[in-house]
Amino acid sequence: MTLTLHLAPGTIALAVHAALEEAGAEYELRWLDFTAAEQTSDAYLAINPKGRVPTLVTAEGTLTETIAILEWIAETQAPPLMPDTAWARARMRETMTYLASTAHVNHAHKMRGHRWADDPAAHAAMRAKVPETMAASARWLEDRMEGDWVAGSFSVADPYLWVITRWLDGDGVPLADYPRLHAFRERIEARPAVARVAAQH
Ligand SMILES: N[C@@H](CCC(=O)N[C@@H](CS)C(=O)NCC(=O)O)C(=O)O
């Protein structure tokens, strides 16, 4: 069965799109229109009740959560986008967990403050804090980059980090201030699979 990825342009689902393309997987795309709040439609909530992307529909069932999907791709597709030592895999997961639990959540405070508060003044306060919290994330990620890729060899953590680097300028954090992250973004965008995917977002 062909895999089906539900996604929206520029979102974290782009990491899964890039990983599928890197893996040479057979997949089809179902684009959601966030401007029309399609992620909250009954049809989509029947697929993913969380109303978020990415969602990957596989022969075994439906999978959500970027880390889980990326690791599943890394384990089931060829070439395996997973480092070959336990230490490198732990480092890969260390970064992916940070991206999901901290960097992505910091970013969400810009547009999605309604998840945490109802008061418009609180939304504005959350939005104002984003350049500071995303700069802290960029600093940790910059210091964390030891080589060309997150975990030694190219892995599914790299498309994930790539999407976050694409968000930084829009979050008020100049990517150019972080030389390793800046070079990483240029390096990953030079990969043919990543370039093919980037052109669609
Ligand atoms: N924990 C989820 C978060 C997914 C998520 O929040 N995706 C955003 C796009 S970057 C989304 O679907 N937002 C839709 C909304 O908040 O309505 C993951 O890592 O996959």
Domain membership of residue 105 (yes or no) is yes
Enumerate the β-bridge partners of residue 160: none
Domain membership of residue 90 (yes or no) is yes
Could you tell me if 36 and 96 lie in one domain? no
Which ranges in the chain belong to alpha helices (H)?
13-23, 42-45, 66-76, 86-98, 104-111, 120-144, 157-168, 179-189, 192-198
Domain membership of residue 130 (yes or no) is yes
Could you tell me if 35 and 90 lie in one domain? no
Domain membership of residue 198 (yes or no) is no
Question: Could you give the percent of the chain with pLDDT greater than 90?
Answer: 97
Answer yes or no: pTM beyond 0.95.
Answer: yes
Choose the residue to mutate in 47, 53, 71, 95 for probing ligand 1, maximizing ligand atoms within 8 Å of C-beta. 53
Could you tell me if 9 and 57 lie in one domain? yes
Last residue of a domain, one of 76, 101, 132: 76
Q: Which domain holds residue 163?
A: 86-191
Q: How many folded domains does the chain comprise?
A: 2
Q: What is the pLDDT of residue 110?
A: 97
**What average pLDDT does the segment 86-102 reach?**
97
| Cβ 133 vs Cβ 101: under 8 Å | no
- Confidence class of residue 3 from pLDDT cuts 50, 70 and 90? very high
Identity of residue 36: A
Could you tell me if 152 and 103 lie in one domain? yes
Given phi > 0 = left and psi -120 to 50 = alpha, else beta, which region is 152?
Answer: left
SS3 57: strand
- Confidence class of residue 1 from pLDDT cuts 50, 70 and 90? confident
Could you tell me if 15 and 41 lie in one domain? yes
Could you tell me if 67 and 98 lie in one domain? no
Could you tell me if 22 and 111 lie in one domain? no
Domain membership of residue 163 (yes or no) is yes
* Ligand 1 and 48: CB distance under 6 A: no
If one counts every other C-beta atom within 10 angstroms of the C-beta of residue 28, the result is 9
The domain that holds 95 is classified in CATH as 1.20.1050.10
Alpha-carbon span 1 to 61, nearest angstrom: 11
pLDDT tens-place string over residues 179-200: 999 999 999 999 999 999 999 9
Could you tell me if 173 and 103 lie in one domain? yes
Domain membership of residue 94 (yes or no) is yes
Alpha-carbon span 148 to 181, nearest angstrom: 10
Domain membership of residue 199 (yes or no) is no
Alpha-carbon span 31 to 125, nearest angstrom: 32
Nearest residue (CA) to ligand 1, atom 13: 52
Could you tell me if 185 and 97 lie in one domain? yes
Domain membership of residue 200 (yes or no) is no
Nearest residue (CA) to ligand 1, atom 6: 52
Contacts 24+ apart (CB under 8 A), 45-54: 47/6, 48/6, 53/6, 53/7, 53/8, 53/11, 53/12, 53/13, 54/5, 54/6, 54/7, 54/11, 54/12, 54/13, 54/15, 54/16, 54/17
